[in-house]
Amino acid sequence: MTQVLGLPRLEERIRQDLAQLCLPARPWIPAKEFNGKPVKDVIVIGGGMAGLVLGAALKNLGIDAHLLDKSPEGFEGPWLTTARMETLRSPKELTGPALGIGSLTFQAWFVAQWGVEAWKVIDKIPRPQWAEYLRWYRKVLGIEVQNGHEVISLNPGPDQIVSVEVKDHNTHPATTYALLARRVVLATGRDGLGGPWVPTWAKAIPKDKWVHSSDVWEGTRFKGQRVVVIGGGSSSMDSAATALESGATRLDMLIRRQEFPRINKSKGLGSPGIVHGYWQLPDTWKWKFRHYINAQQVPPPRGSTLRVSRHKNAYFHFGAPVVQAISKEDGSIQLETPKGSLLTDQIIFSTGFRTDWALRPEFSSFAPYIRVWRDRFDTPEKLEDEELSDSPDLGSCFEFQSKTPDACSGLDRIHCFNYAATLSHGACSGDIPQISDGAQRLAQGLAAKFMAEDVDHHFEALKKYDDPELLGDEWIAADFPKSDV
């Protein structure tokens, strides 16, 4: 019988591992004030996986990180709200946010509770269990997150300070307050610089007739309904399966392509060379890599697709983009496609996200000044890509850069650690496989910037350092021998 050690033993092992690695480092950044108010070293907006692992990486380097998340505790990120897959799509062995420490991995957490044999049996990680693991990760590393605190305004300034206006939803009524920070990181997820996208024809449909796959909704709304899902990706399958399992009478998937892609090309970007070298490649190569993956598209997982196709009332229609939507008097929706008309009661848009600053008013003070790739990169012929063109052109520390020099003082003190960073830095700011590498690269970059900004302080501290290595009683000065010459 497999011995199960339990979480207390694992947590003790983690404490030993960190101690043996001399982590976390002692705080070393001098305290700052501005106009009599304290200034945070780093404010991280977002307490999901990316925010947590960055908070842990900063803490290990002796840097204080103040995390804010508008969600209730334990419901950060999509795992228990808008994600609807049964299991994660990543292989279970990936180390994710463990920061190179074996005892912090999901595998160690799982085996400590259910044993090695149980680990061998599971295929992929159940989604709710991943959320439970992240809750434990936050607790065992002592990462503090201010939940129910929503950032409503972010204002970089000329004095090496970023002002952050926050709404506290834990009070009744909600109250607002201001924080000051030297650096701010946007760990805001897949829709970090915009939001869900729907085609223009959606405007012809009453809002109570459709949802986006990223919205919060209950599958019970589709019970007894005809449902159409727009799209053929992973979230399409998850949404379709949820509707079918909740009692939809018929489900039609309308897919533009003539067939599903079969190969997940992004899995071919998993080498250490890509992880550590992609972000330093010439721009043309970055574009070629990311455009190729976008053009090939990522297939839905086999398990997710079978979850839908096992229902006899599920229908896959390829080469069937919607060209027009008509609201009928009986409340149904008529969708026109190149293959003909289709009547439905409800529509689920699984049409992805777009960078759209209008959807993020909290960034309005600096959004117009951000340089994106289309501002300075000539797209190679036949490789046009709107998503890539709209991506922010980030610096080496994930920082925003200005279209015009000095147009927005302090813009480079805001760092983009979400999906929008992918073209500049690779898939290291949100995806499980590379999230630790991205967090450590950003944390180390921030440490270097703090050192450079405070170099005078550190030099003075060096001169004042007086912890003696020798006390003066370790030797006796000898008389120099008399010369025989």
Q: What is the pLDDT of residues 383-417, one digit of tens each?
A: 999 999 999 999 999 999 999 998 999 999 999 99
pLDDT in tens, 144-179: 999 999 999 999 999 999 999 999 999 999 999 999
Per-residue model confidence (pLDDT) at position 2: 60
| 18 contacts 24 by C-beta, under 8 angstroms | yes
112-127 per-position pLDDT tens digit: 999 999 999 999 999 9
- Identify the band that residue 4 occupies on the pLDDT scale cut at 50, 70 and 90: confident
Domain 7-193+355-457 has CATH 3.50.50.60: yes
Mean pLDDT for the chain overall: 96
Q: What percent of the chain has pLDDT over 90?
A: 95
Give the model's pLDDT for residue 483: 83
Residue 484 pLDDT greater than 90, yes or no: no
Backbone angles phi, psi at 79, to 5 degrees: -60, -35
> Would the pLDDT of 305 be above 70?
yes
CA distance 108 to 459: 43
| CB proximity list for 145: less than 8 A, separation 6 or greater | 47, 51, 52, 55, 67, 68, 69, 73, 76, 138
**Contact indicator for 427, 266 with CB cutoff of 8 Å:** yes
The strand pair at 32-34 and 37-45 is best described as: antiparallel
Query: pLDDT band for position 269 (50/70/90)?
Result: confident
Give 306-362 pLDDT, tens digit per residue: 999 999 999 999 999 999 999 999 999 999 999 999 999 999 999 999 999 999 999
Amino acid 345: pLDDT: 98
Phi first, then psi, for residue 100 (nearest 5°) are: 80, 10
Cβ-in-10-Å burial (0-12, 13-18, 19+) of 132 comes to middle
pLDDT at 231: 97
Q: Is the pLDDT of residue 1 over 60?
A: no
pLDDT of residue 275: 95
List the domain boundaries for the chain.
7-193+355-457, 198-262+299-350
| Identical fold between 7-193+355-457 and 198-262+299-350 | yes
CATH class for the region spanning 198-262+299-350: alpha beta
* pLDDT band for position 485 (cuts 50, 70, 90): low
